[in-house]
Amino acid sequence: MPTQAFESRIQKAIDEGIIPGAVILATSKDGILSPVPSSSISFTNVDVVKGKLNYSTALGYSHLPPATPQPIPMTLDTVFTLASMTKLLTGIAILQLVERGKITLETDVAEILPELSSQPILTGFDTETGEPILTKRKNSILLRHLLSHSSGTSYVFLDENLKKYFEKTGKQLPMPLSPVGGKTVVGRFGYPLLFEPGEGWAYGSGMDWVGEIVRRVGGKGGLDEWVREEILSKVGVERDRITFYPSSHVKVAGMGNRNEETGKVEGYPGWGEGKSVEVFPGWGGGEEGGNTEEKMDEMGGEGAYADLRGYMKVMESLLRDDGKLLKSETVEMLFEGLLKEDKAKEGLKESVRNPGWIVGWVPDNGGKYDWGVGGLVTTEDAEEGGKGRRKGFLQWGGVFNLAWVSIYTVDGWGRDG
């Protein structure tokens, strides 16, 4: 599709109040991503041998009334709340530790995370008293289980039994991306498992616990410091472009809310309001990352902020296999499924059948999916003529309508993303 027609469709959605705005970036293994005026951008012909693609644009607004007096234009430097797009950064960090021999995918994490390993399994509720029924865990929790969401951990907001557990125990429900419910990984996610590790699948806090492993095993101040020194500095991304603690001068993109009467998107009051993130107690703020007494732990599954050009530079390094972040054989691990147990595979298959909780399009694809360190992996090509993805298609996103995809092939022409 010509660039002008593509952008016209996006602009039409903005003009009609369907979306507030968009930042779109695309590059290929041999392309060079560089910001240029939207009017002069064009797709190069994508050749399966040389595969060159270079595209970036920003359209619409990062903030809308009534959250701000006037709309604030979206730019390529707009900083977003990454939410679950944080998981890719945490995945890279833990793979760096794997490369350095500090941990393996099959490591039992009990000694590293005793607070998690001590958690029981929530099997139901007493029919008479309504009290939670908890049983002792038998299977080991492996790093692989945490990375692939097969450890038994889940997000409270995605599971009715966990919601009921919190209600019955009087505990405060964790609110995603806020200090409500706990400012530490342990305080926030220290609740029962839903099943024996390896015997099910549930999207949840596994990567938040992995971020805690990076803090405890990595020998640095925490995940934010690891990401800054071992990832961002390697690919030439400045501190504030990807961080868990934005400085006070950084304005994070606002939130959109659909007006029930008009059906059009409008700014959501109370979420940023065009100000810096210091308006959220405990989320950061301050020139050097905020008041340390108020800061939350670096949540490896949801806690980072970034402008998408900075995020793309990290992805470009993986795409081009330049060795700055990971060895070639380790990059391949991002695109490999980690689910070994049949019950875990079936659990993912069932979850993908009802993909309303996933940001981005996930075709049925005959259930040909697995979960890797990087995200959701397509394991087989879609049937000819069917709607689906190629083998090696890796994708994930964040709850606030952010998404990324990358394609890995071994047919002689490399990676494309």
Q: Retrieve residue 27's tokens.
A: 């590059």
Question: What's phi and psi for 357, nearest 5 deg?
Answer: -85, -5
| C-alpha–C-alpha distance, residues 214 and 68, integer Å | 38
Of residues 326 and 27, more confidence is placed in: 326
Identity (one letter) of the amino acid at 100? R
pLDDT for position 10: 95
| C-alpha–C-alpha distance, residues 48 and 264, integer Å | 40
The CA dihedral of 265, 37, 402, 408, to the nearest 10 degrees, is 150
Residue 156 has pLDDT above 70, yes or no: yes
pLDDT for position 273: 45
Residue 286 has pLDDT above 50, yes or no: no
* Global confidence as pTM: 0.89
pLDDT for position 272: 52
Residue 387 has pLDDT above 60, yes or no: yes
Listed residue (139, 142, 158) closest to 204, CA to CA: 158
Listed residue (294, 184, 305, 186) closest to 244, CA to CA: 305
Residue 34 has pLDDT above 90, yes or no: no
With cut-offs at 50, 70 and 90, classify the pLDDT of residue 2: low
Helix residue ranges per DSSP H, 170-299: 185-189, 206-217, 223-226, 233-235
pLDDT for position 408: 64
- The residue written with tokens 């099943």 in the block is 195
Query: Chain-wide mean pLDDT for the chain?
Result: 86
Q: Cβ(109)–Cβ(143) under 8 Å? A: yes
Q: What percent of the chain has pLDDT over 90?
A: 67
Question: What's phi and psi for 224, nearest 5 deg?
Answer: -60, -45
Q: How many residues does the chain have?
A: 417
Least confident piece of the model among 130-139, 220-229, 343-352, 398-407: 398-407
Listed residue (309, 176, 291, 286) closest to 236, CA to CA: 309
Question: What's phi and psi for 406, nearest 5 deg?
Answer: -150, 145
Q: Cβ(132)–Cβ(192) under 8 Å? A: yes
pLDDT in tens, 40-75: 333 433 333 344 677 899 999 999 999 999 999 999
pLDDT in tens, 217-253: 999 989 999 999 999 999 999 988 999 998 877 889 9
Listed residue (190, 177, 178, 196) closest to 347, CA to CA: 196
Least confident piece of the model among 56-60, 154-158, 348-352, 403-407: 403-407
| C-alpha–C-alpha distance, residues 283 and 289, integer Å | 9
pLDDT in tens, 169-178: 998 888 877 7
With cut-offs at 50, 70 and 90, classify the pLDDT of residue 291: very low
